[in-house]
Amino acid sequence: MLGFITRPPHRFLSLLCPGLRIPQLSVLCAQPRPRAMAISSSSCELPLVAVCQVTSTPDKQQNFKTCAELVREAARLGACLAFLPEAFDFIARDPAETLHLSEPLGGKLLEEYTQLARECGLWLSLGGFHERGQDWEQTQKIYNCHVLLNSKGAVVATYRKTHLCDVEIPGQGPMCESNSTMPGPSLESPVSTPAGKIGLAVCYDMRFPELSLALAQAGAEILTYPSAFGSVTGPAHWEPVSS
């Protein structure tokens, strides 16, 4: 069962318990429960996680406000970890604006999220941060970076998307992520969290089973694919591959 909390348009929170498992997949089941999640000797409760869905805009501060409200609500309900989607920080109107709005990991926006994690006392999966890497001056391109923060606000893992989405969209022309984004150099080892051992990926990575297999063989219990698929790419990629 899923416990859903609805918000005004473009915001959505679902509460999940990673629990039952089938081979190579995690089946998520949940029910809303109070903040206190006591574990007694007679019954062991599963950890509660929150999946936050937002529709990002070019306004980074408004996006942060929206995400922060959902994260605080997740913490209030007892979640130990909250997942935010790809492009949680912003979605720009064009590649030039994307590059202009991007920040390094040590920038102001990520600092706000580290403070949020500390304030709420829960882990944050920041599913796709537009990162200006150390090679920004040379490349003038960014990374699509999945950042994992612990409950103290420390960055415990970063994975830079390796498979960039360069596709022809019928009726819309090409979508070339590689025009503004560099592919990441490597996979990130699965990370132990209060919800289990998590393997980090991003969106279009789902199309490449070798990545998920490598993470599973390295011990990942939960595979994460935070995504910002559109109205055309969602039905073509997300729905058939994830179902």
Q: Which of 80, 103, 131, 161 is catalytic?
A: 161
Q: Identify any residues that bridge with 11 across adjacent strands, giving them in sequence order.
A: 54
Task: Of 130, 127, 10, 128, give the one whose Cα is nearest residue 69.
Answer: 10
pTM of the complete model: 0.82
Residue 33's pLDDT band (cuts 50, 70, 90): very low
Q: Which of 86, 103, 131, 188 is catalytic?
A: 86
> 184: Cβ–Cβ under 8 A, 6 or more apart, which residues?
143, 144, 145, 159, 160, 161, 162
Which range of 20-24, 88-92, 203-207 scores highest in mean pLDDT? It is: 88-92
Cα atoms found within 13 Å of the Cα of residue 17, Cβ hemisphere only: 17
Active site residue 119: no
170-189 per-position pLDDT tens digit: 777 777 898 999 999 999 99
125-155 per-position pLDDT tens digit: 999 999 999 999 999 999 999 999 999 999 9
Q: Which of 17, 80, 165, 203 is catalytic?
A: 203
Mean pLDDT of the chain: 83
Q: What percent of the chain has pLDDT over 70?
A: 80
Report the alpha-carbon distance of residue 110 to residue 126 in Å, rounded: 9
Q: How remote is the C-alpha of 128 from its chain's centroid?
A: 6
Specify the pLDDT at position 32. Answer: 32
Residue 44's pLDDT band (cuts 50, 70, 90): very low
- CATH number for the region 49-241 comes to 3.60.110.10
Domain parsing of the chain, residue ranges: 49-241
Q: Residues 79-106: what's their mean pLDDT?
A: 96
Active site residue 203: yes
DSSP H/E element including 62 = helix 60-76
Active site residue 111: no
Report the alpha-carbon distance of residue 49 to residue 83 in Å, rounded: 8
The secondary structure of residue 206, as a DSSP letter, is G
